[in-house]
């Protein structure tokens, strides 16, 4: 394959507050990680899949990965993550095969992301050689406030997008940007853009929301109950 997908699952899930790291928490009968990998293996294109897991859960992640891969032709491996998401992505990048040309980075916590989004992001990168990120319009009015919470201005939300994953990049330029990064960025696209590369937004999907809090987990389970996936 020429496509690599790095699924970062090495966070601790502090805000979810479960008794285990978030990717290994049950979501309506299957783990968050297994649900995410189901979407990855639903891609049209063959891919090399690298799961980044907490160091003490690599073996468990390998079991989940094998189950999710089933008879899929895509290959899958698991590596240990780091203290920050950026370090975890960096560990995943190091595990990619030499032939990989396009890399997608995906949060395992976005467990219900439609498979088609992965293919859309790959297509975007292949056509533009830019970074490609899925995004959705911002629904609420957004205001800038000062230190005392007084409203300074209302931002024109028509020019805002909430950004999701998977985020896709040409492999060589993402790896170089990672090697040169000296600060922590909020997402891979910010790191990539800081290295001087263009990034474009394509249509994301409401189902790609990130499971962050207990409320998000209940929302995911509710959606699965009403439309089993």
CA 207 to chain centre: 13
- Give every CB contact of residue 190 below 8 A, 6+ residues apart in sequence: none
Q: Among ligand CTP, Mg ion, none, what does residue 107 contact (CB within 5–8 Å per kind)?
A: ligand CTP
- Give every CB contact of residue 21 below 8 A, 6+ residues apart in sequence: 9, 10, 11, 12, 13, 54, 57
Identify which range of 7-15, 97-105, 140-148, 195-203 contacts Mg ion by CB under 5 A.
7-15
For 48, the enclosing helix (H) or strand (E) is strand 48-53
Identify which range of 9-17, 139-147, 175-183, 201-209 contacts ligand CTP by CB under 6 A.
9-17
Nearest residue (CB) to ligand CTP, 48 versus 86: 86
Q: Least CB distance from residue 213 to Mg ion, whole Å?
A: 12
Show the site string, 103-132: x = touches ligand CTP by CB under 6 A, - = not.
----xxx-----------------------
212 binds ligand CTP (CB under 6 A): yes
Q: Which residues in this chain contact Mg ion in the complex, by CB under 5 A?
A: 11
């Amino acid at each position: 394959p020429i496509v690599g997908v790095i699924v970062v699952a090495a966070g601790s899930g502090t805000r979810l507050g479960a008794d285990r790291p978030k990717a290994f928490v049950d979501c309506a009968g299957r783990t968050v990680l297994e649900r995410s990998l189901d979407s990855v293996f639903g891609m049209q294109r063959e891919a090399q899949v690298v799961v980044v897991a907490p160091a003490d859960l690599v073996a468990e992640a390998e079991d989940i990965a094998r189950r999710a891969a089933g008879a899929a032709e895509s290959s899958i491996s698991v590596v240990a993550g780091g203290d920050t998401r950026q370090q975890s992505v960096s560990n995943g990048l190091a595990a990619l095969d030499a032939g990989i040309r396009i890399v997608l980075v995906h949060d395992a916590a976005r467990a219900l992301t439609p498979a088609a989004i992965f293919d859309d992001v790959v297509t975007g990168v292949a056509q533009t050689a830019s970074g490609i990120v899925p995004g959705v319009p911002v629904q609420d009015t957004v205001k800038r406030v000062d230190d005392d919470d007084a409203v300074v201005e209302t931002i024109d939300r028509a020019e805002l997008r909430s950004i999701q994953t998977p985020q896709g990049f040409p492999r060589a330029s993402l790896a170089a940007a990672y090697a040169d990064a000296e600060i922590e960025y909020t997402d891979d696209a910010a790191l990539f853009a800081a290295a001087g590369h263009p990034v474009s937004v394509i249509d994301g999907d409401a189902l790609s929301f990130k499971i962050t809090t207990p409320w998000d987990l209940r929302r995911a389970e509710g959606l699965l109950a009403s439309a089993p996936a």
